[in-house]
Chain A
Amino acid sequence: MDQLFIIKFLIPLFWAIGFMLAPKQNERAIKLYALIGSLVILAYSVKMFFDLPNPGVLTELFKFQMPLFFNMTYTFAMDGLSGLLLLLNSFLLVIVVITTWEIKTDKLRLYYFLIFTLVWAVNGSLLSTSLYGFYIFWEAMLIPLFILVGVFGGDNRRYASFKFFMMTAAGSILMLASMCYMSALAYKLTGSYDLNYEVIKSLNLRFSGFWSPQSLIFWCFSIAFFLKVPVFPFHSWLPDAHVEAPTAGSILLAGILLKLGIYGFLRFVIPFYPQAVDAYRDIVLYLGAIGVIYGALTAWVQKDIKKLVAFSSISHMGYIVMGVFSQNAFAVKGAIFQMVAHGISTPGLFIGVHYLYTRRHTKKLDQFGGLAKVMPRFAILFFIITAGSMAVPMTCGFVGEFMITAGVYEINKTVAFLAATGIILSPIYLLKMYHLTALGEINHEENKSLKDLSLLEATPMIVLSVLTILLGLYPKLITSMYEGTISFFVNKGL
């Protein structure tokens, strides 16, 4: 138990409130304040991770009794998996702050406030192991992102932000309903409505076909998480949200928020509903495989770069869902790796799109071409990140996809074959994107005088490129962090 935990945990929120108090005129100071804040948060995330006595088990960090509120408890705990995602989250915060350093807006304080509260809410849901705590933060995440898209987004931002909010919230309602039900059960069992980890484990819901509690609750949770991930066919909010979101929103959305859905599966579904997971495994595996192909084919025909990257996310997330549901230790390990890999490559692509957009104010693919000539630094970095995204060996993208394919192959060969078509399909759309932006002749007069990336602009892409290659060559750097936890996410005896 860490007495200082709650203070450390609240830092992002305090920091966010600081923005509201800051003087409006001094933009530079605000930006500097944001940068320092992001570095502080990264530092304490690292420290928290390395303070873990054993990353293989859930270590309780803080417990909060609420005697007046149905005697509920509020538990914060952390293991290798949540620690890893915590690190990814705060790392992406730093990346976001640096990438959008040149942002021009009169609502700068609101912008940073939203980003910091968003990161805080993500941290909260990663660390909560009582289901209610998780739920509160899960919902809390929606609000800052909703405002971020709604205020700072593109032309169609209103539609996109509402759609995103309503669809995710609709899933949450299902989750809430099943939580009510579980609470009622828990009350019978323990005399408390509390749903902390041990209690959920001891519920032992009955499973006998679709119309049984375990199955229904499984589907309620699953649909909530499917909507978040998003798994085909629950994805319709994602392309809209990505296209309209400002870069910061896109980076955080693709980099970490989508992974929260997967995290939810690992933390609150797989360990508790083993029979349901087993029974419906194939359905989800096929959904994942269809997602891989569907996302790739739809990405291919897009004419907007951001939309292309958004659909590629659906393809990549399909892999992760398959890995998680295959219930094969290797594939689960790969899926968690792929969460990090996707959290590196897709934000990288969005950063590239951001730089193109800030220069040309368009995201249409046919407006570019031949940029390698005028922006060589951009072209090289963008290529490395693209290679990571299309899973070239020796980049991080390969590790996860390979492990998932191998693990799924052992469970269901058909699905593995379908999934492996991603190997062929991913370069089709990613190379299309790269060729239409960086290669070929310069057809547009405006593109002839584009400035190459400044050192500041290049920094996030350099960092992501280095990570892409480093993790591809030495994946143990990441896997060693969560290796011990895998056994909790794989139901044995299946």
Chain B
Amino acid sequence: MYENYLALIPFFPLLAFLLNSLLIKNKLNNIQAGVITFIGLFTSFILVIVVALHVNEAGPVHVKLWDWMTYNKIIFDIHFVMDQLSVVLCLMVTGIGSAIAFFSIGYMDHEEKVGKFFAFFALFAFSMLLLVVGENFLVLFMGWEGVGLSSYLLIGFWYEHTKNGNAAKKAFLANRVGDFGVVLGMIGYALVFNTVSFRDLQHPDMAILMANKGVLIVSSLLLVLGVTGKSAQIPLFIWLPDAMMGPTPVSALMHAATMVTAGIFLLCRVSNIIVHFSVVMDVIAWAGALTSLLAALIALTQTDIKKILAYSTVSQLGYMVMACGLGAFSTGMFHVFTHAFFKALLFLCAASVIYGCHHEQNIFKMGGLKDKMPITFWTFVVGFLAIAGIPGFSGFFSKDEILSMAFTNPGNGPLLYSIALGSALLTAFYMTRMLVLVFIVPQSKDVHDTHEHGTSEDKHHHHEIHESPSVMTIPLIILAICSFGAGYIGMPHLFGGHEYSRLIQVFLEKIVAAPTGHTHLSEETEIIMMIVTTLLILSSMGLAYYIYVKNDDIKMRDKLKAKFLALWVLSSNKFKVDELYETVIIKPLYEVGNFLVDIIETYVVNGVVRLVTKTISTGGTFLEETKPERIEMGILYIIIGLTIIVTAVFNAFIFR
């Protein structure tokens, strides 16, 4: 029975996709289209809960649908599993997905092509579910590319603007670079272990593992490349900020809460293998740590509300990846879980603000929305406190555990810890900046600090700012409650005691590798660390508040800007990574293409052909000049010539 339920979980969003895409021409109004997708997701959500309760008691549920292909002993089949790891992701995808689908009904109300939007939305949910319930690499990869494709479609949703199309293309290509790694990594694993099933990879044969160390390390690093693509880490993070061109609810669901966490999910899936290779683990940890710092630095100076949240997402993803690299896979997943709620919430609040401000996205042109949009404001505050890591809110628990994991890690621990702490403080800073500029300080007439934003033409955009309708605020409230409470399922030992501490981590560690080699911290140290971290975060918030509220005469900001000019320029230019790739990789490659067409194709490939033709025609002319009297003589010459050649060839080889 549970097998059937499991098979149906991805089916309902697929059904919603088909309904929405096939009925697009018919009289399906905006609300109906939204409701179809919402129902599809919500039905899956209920099924997930039913199956999850069963999994909690009786262990993983499997269902095999059909064979896709077999290769010697390797079976590629369409096979679903609901285990402890899938449960967490499935709940997030369908639960948060339903909330955001509900929200979108309101948000997309006045748009065109809403049927298409909800069709793609459902397609995404289907692909994402495929990804998380896939029992083997094949199904995972189908979902993996499926989410990439639906993300591409949704980023380019307003395809009329070339800018959006380019952002979509960039996202797809960056993901494809990652997929290159995933395909080769998957093949490498498959050929070493003779299986692609995660059930088998969960308990790898140590003898095989050690015998194929080299191949496995390379394959794992290739998989990590895939992770950096999907989860927007260095070096492939560049696509995620651009992905904000899509409708904001999509950014909330895909580019913040679920899709981008697929990389961490993949790391967890293969955690029992990569945990044995310290090289791989170090690469992961450093990629994560540096990404979290870099993205936080960039977020400091951005002015677009969605861009700030995007970089903040990149930074938080860096946290999760770093946790995996430290061996704390379950903690990484815990942060995925809490982050999904508060980041979805923050994005939806941003959507609500953008909706209320008539598509204004520059935070310097907002301000004073606290009273005009009270529900949005208060839910935003919850999300803000959660992401900043204020004790009691969900982000605190997961972030704190990652920090202490870094602290206690024997190898690179201290350095990684300070980087992570640094980006936590930066997070608190830029989130405060955003909060006060959008909601608290009165709207300033001065639009001095803006640049690169052309969408601000409509002058009367602040005239009728109003709170969003309840179809949008209800999901906000639900998510706010979760953002507050989600952390309590993973409390540290200190708070939860034996019975209630690290619930989700222990639950997950039935599947993923448990952290090893960490030194144990005494409770006193733990408390001191928490207090110090919290105090630092509070002072960072205070600093931001002081700069942007108390001292809103701009002078202070200008002074700061002048002082850190180099950093400020780098940060506001996103460290020029896009330009770097453009000049170092894309342009040269295009030039190679041009070179191939202009030179190789013209002078070499076709040149040989021309040369041959030329030779023949010259020979022809020569023969013509010898003038055989009649045409028969010509034929005779040909026959004689051919005979000589053929005989020569034959003699050379037959009778040798």
Q: In the complex, which of the residues A185, A330, A405, A435 contacts B654, with contact meaning CB atoms closer than 8 Å?
A: A185
What's the least CB distance linking B611 to chain A, in Å? 12
Segment 179-202 of B: residues with Cβ below 8 Å from A: 179-180, 183-184, 187-188, 190-191
The verdict on B395 contacting chain A, using a C-beta distance below 8 Å, is no
Instruction: Take A416-B184, A475-B68, A476-B69 as given contacts and tell me if A233 and B176 are in contact as well, using a CB distance cutoff of 8 Å.
Output: no
Instruction: Take A294-B596, A409-B187 as given contacts and tell me if A424 and B606 are in contact as well, using a CB distance cutoff of 8 Å.
Output: no
Given contacts A423-B183, A431-B172, 10 further A-B contacts (CB under 8 A): A216-B653, A236-B606, A302-B597, A330-B71, A393-B145, A402-B183, A416-B184, A431-B173, A440-B161, A473-B78
Q: Are B590 and A300 in contact (CB under 8 A)?
A: yes
Q: What are the residues of chain B within 8 A of A233 when measuring CB–CB?
A: 604-605, 608
Q: What are the residues of chain B within 8 A of A405 when measuring CB–CB?
A: 183-184, 187
CA distance A330 to B597 in the complex (A): 34
What's the least CB distance linking A487 to chain B, in Å? 14
Q: Are B596 and A387 in contact (CB under 8 A)?
A: no
The verdict on B249 contacting chain A, using a C-beta distance below 8 Å, is no
Q: In the complex, which of the residues A213, A300, A392, A402 contacts B653, with contact meaning CB atoms closer than 8 Å?
A: A213
CA distance A394 to B144 in the complex (A): 11
What's the least CB distance linking B224 to chain A, in Å? 16
Segment 434-488 of A: residues with Cβ below 8 Å from B: 435, 438-441, 473-476, 479
Q: What are the residues of chain A within 8 A of B179 when measuring CB–CB?
A: 423-424
CA distance A135 to B243 in the complex (A): 55
Instruction: Take A420-B183, A427-B176 as given contacts and tell me if A435 and B169 are in contact as well, using a CB distance cutoff of 8 Å.
Output: yes
Return the CB mask of B595-614 against A: 1 if under 8 Å, else 0: 01100010011101100110
The verdict on A297 contacting chain B, using a C-beta distance below 8 Å, is yes
Decide if the interface of chain A is mainly helix, strand, loop or mixed. Answer: helix
Q: Are A297 and B165 in contact (CB under 8 A)?
A: no
Tell which of A90-98, A176-184, A191-199 binds the partner.
Answer: A176-184
CA distance A394 to B148 in the complex (A): 13
Q: What are the residues of chain A within 8 A of B176 when measuring CB–CB?
A: 423-424, 427
Return the CB mask of A205-237 against B: 1 if under 8 Å, else 0: 000000111001000000000000000010111
Q: Are B590 and A301 in contact (CB under 8 A)?
A: yes
Q: What are the residues of chain A within 8 A of B183 when measuring CB–CB?
A: 402, 405, 420, 423
CA distance A112 to B218 in the complex (A): 55
Q: In the complex, which of the residues B144, B156, B180 contacts A439, with contact meaning CB atoms closer than 8 Å?
A: B156
Segment 56-115 of B: residues with Cβ below 8 Å from A: 66-69, 71-72, 78
The verdict on B594 contacting chain A, using a C-beta distance below 8 Å, is yes
Q: What are the residues of chain A within 8 A of B177 when measuring CB–CB?
A: 424
21 of the cross-chain contacts (CB-CB < 8 Å) are: A177-B646, A181-B653, A181-B654, A297-B589, A300-B590, A301-B597, A392-B146, A398-B145, A399-B69, A405-B184, A406-B191, A409-B187, A409-B188, A409-B191, A420-B180, A420-B183, A423-B183, A427-B169, A431-B172, A432-B169, A441-B160
Instruction: Take A302-B597, A394-B142, A431-B173 as given contacts and tell me if A439 and B165 are in contact as well, using a CB distance cutoff of 8 Å.
Output: yes
Q: Are A421 and B69 in contact (CB under 8 A)?
A: no
Residue of A nearest to B172 (CB): A427
Q: What are the residues of chain A within 8 A of B68 when measuring CB–CB?
A: 474-476
Q: Are B69 and A441 in contact (CB under 8 A)?
A: no
CA distance A394 to B601 in the complex (A): 34
Decide if the interface of chain B is mainly helix, strand, loop or mixed. Answer: helix
The verdict on B474 contacting chain A, using a C-beta distance below 8 Å, is no
CA distance A474 to B138 in the complex (A): 13
Q: What are the residues of chain B within 8 A of A301 when measuring CB–CB?
A: 590, 593-594, 596-597
CA distance A438 to B376 in the complex (A): 38
The verdict on A403 contacting chain B, using a C-beta distance below 8 Å, is yes
Q: B residues within 8 Å of A by Cβ?
A: 66-69, 71-72, 78, 141-142, 144-146, 149, 156, 159-162, 165-166, 169, 172-173, 176-177, 179-180, 183-184, 187-188, 190-191, 589-590, 592-594, 596-597, 601, 604-606, 608-609, 612-613, 646, 649-650, 653-654
Residue of B nearest to A372 (CB): B159
The verdict on A278 contacting chain B, using a C-beta distance below 8 Å, is no
Q: What are the residues of chain A within 8 A of B593 when measuring CB–CB?
A: 297-298, 300-301
Q: Are B141 and A393 in contact (CB under 8 A)?
A: yes
Q: What are the residues of chain A within 8 A of B594 when measuring CB–CB?
A: 301
Q: Are B149 and A387 in contact (CB under 8 A)?
A: yes
CA distance A301 to B602 in the complex (A): 14
Q: In the complex, which of the residues A236, A409, A479 contacts B69, with contact meaning CB atoms closer than 8 Å?
A: A479
Return the CB mask of A159-203 against B: 1 if under 8 Å, else 0: 000010011001000000100110011000000000000000000
Q: What are the residues of chain A within 8 A of B141 when measuring CB–CB?
A: 393
The verdict on A8 contacting chain B, using a C-beta distance below 8 Å, is no
Instruction: Take A297-B589, A301-B597 as given contacts and tell me if A476 and B605 are in contact as well, using a CB distance cutoff of 8 Å.
Output: no
Return the CB mask of A228-252 against B: 1 if under 8 Å, else 0: 0000010111000000000000000
Q: Are B71 and A406 in contact (CB under 8 A)?
A: yes
What's the least CB distance linking B328 to chain A, in Å? 31
Return the CB mask of A357-401 against B: 1 if under 8 Å, else 0: 000000000000010110000000000000100001110001100
Q: What are the residues of chain A within 8 A of B190 when measuring CB–CB?
A: 406
Q: Are B173 and A424 in contact (CB under 8 A)?
A: yes
The verdict on A280 contacting chain B, using a C-beta distance below 8 Å, is no
CA distance A212 to B654 in the complex (A): 9
What's the least CB distance linking B608 to chain A, in Å? 8
Q: Are B160 and A184 in contact (CB under 8 A)?
A: no
CA distance A372 to B160 in the complex (A): 9
Segment 402-438 of A: residues with Cβ below 8 Å from B: 402-403, 405-406, 409-410, 416-417, 420-421, 423-424, 427-428, 431-432, 435, 438
Q: Are B609 and A392 in contact (CB under 8 A)?
A: no
Q: In the complex, which of the residues A213, A298, A438 contacts B596, with contact meaning CB atoms closer than 8 Å?
A: A298
CA distance A185 to B646 in the complex (A): 14
Q: What are the residues of chain B within 8 A of A409 when measuring CB–CB?
A: 184, 187-188, 191
